[in-house]
Amino acid sequence: MAAFSPVPSSEPGRRVSVSTATTAPAGVALGLEGATPDGPDALRDAAATHARSCADQQHVAVLVPGGIAPAEAAAAIVEGVLLARYRYDVLRSRPTATPLAELTIVTSPDAEAAVSAGAARGQALAAATSLARDLANTPHSHLTATRLGEIATQLGPAAGLGVEITDKAGLIAERIGGLLAINQGSAEPPVMIKLTYRPDGSDAGTGHLALVGKGIMYDSGGIALKPGDAVHARMKNDMSGAAAILAAMLQLRALGCTTAVTGWLMCTDSMPSSTALAMGDVIVHRDGTTVEIANTDAEGRIVMADGLVLAREAAPDAILDIATLTGAMMRALGSDVAGVIGNHDGFVEAVRAAGAATAEPAWPMPLWRGYAGQLDSTVADMKNLGWGDGGAITAALFLEHFVGDVPWAHLDIAGTAWSDTDRGTLTAGCTGFGARLLVQLALDFSPPNVDTAA
């Protein structure tokens, strides 16, 4: 069995150079010949198209166009090229494409410093997305919850992260009932990974942001077994939320983030067996909430509930959870746009703005409390699934119960976490959606005004 390497398969940190030469020092170069792309998003896509069109070349160059701030342009170019040339080849005996050895950004001498800074930012953002893709693309036979904890422990300290791994015994002691319940049918133990980033020189910085990620390493549906179709086969990506948090937080120190960020990754697989959680069972979460299991395939909200309680107890300025949570959101918004729902309009808007800035769009959806009655249970405090339409909303209402009055938003990436084809910066397979958005959110974060809650 091949071993999984925690180093991103596309190695986005390999050589990116800035040149002020009058001609591009590479065999294949993109020049826009006076046509200025309409903003960094268009430039990112143009660079991606260029990178894909010369996929057999190891050395690629792009000339920085006018009309866009040099740093912004350089970041967009680097992201476009590196992400378009991403390939997940870790488990192949031979690579499927020519690896990119060097990307050269060609600019004028007076813009060299700005372009260099922008290129470094682009590398960091591309590295976050590439690692998130690598983790989500890896089959659960190679990437268990335990293994993800090992990768976090290996990569975190060098990036300035504190890493704390809680094993099954620790989860029992901490009353993490949801993660333990979903893990009941699995031969693999559950793991909770806590990541801590504190900015240099201050524990306060620009506030404290808490992140909670769904880390279902493989989702069979449990006793509510999923159909044996193509969607089931891609359920290795049901830990995309946890992957995005780890990948994003690894870049915060390099980008000079002044926000304190704490992440909780709730990791297990969900399997059917004689010991698996059953429909009708009642579980108890860390805060004492009892939940009747209406469907074992609504497992993501169950594992994240205790993470939200822990986040709330840490008294952050805001909490964001990220998860491949509902098919309902995917049916509503498709595969290009994530849904964001929350209890604070200002924080929801901050998430949306971070997505707009990184070409990872998130569309606000209503937290319609008129549907809350769907979660009523006759035997417990609540059920884990509603009985009517609006499943993305009832899932958010379930999660809201555990955050108390802390400003909170829920990012449902069920549709955006997978691409069937190569297009723009995306390559077929797991997209790593959310990693760049989370970085941007942390960089721009300021504590939400509690008087403007939804």
Catalytic residue list: 226, 301
Q: Which residue has the tokens 């506030």?
A: 207
Tokens of 172: 């029992």
Contacts for 221 with CB less than 8 Å, ≥ 6 apart: 232, 270, 272, 296, 297
CA distance 39 to 358: 12
CA distance 44 to 51: 11
Query: Is 105 in a helix, a strand, or coil?
Result: strand
Q: Which of 258, 253, 261, 22 is nearest to 120 (CA)?
A: 253
Contacts for 395 with CB less than 8 Å, ≥ 6 apart: 298, 301, 325, 326, 328, 410, 412
Q: Residue 450 in contact with residue 316, Cβ under 8 Å?
A: no
Contacts for 388 with CB less than 8 Å, ≥ 6 apart: 371, 374, 394
Which amino acid makes up residue 440? Answer: Q
CA distance 434 to 431: 9
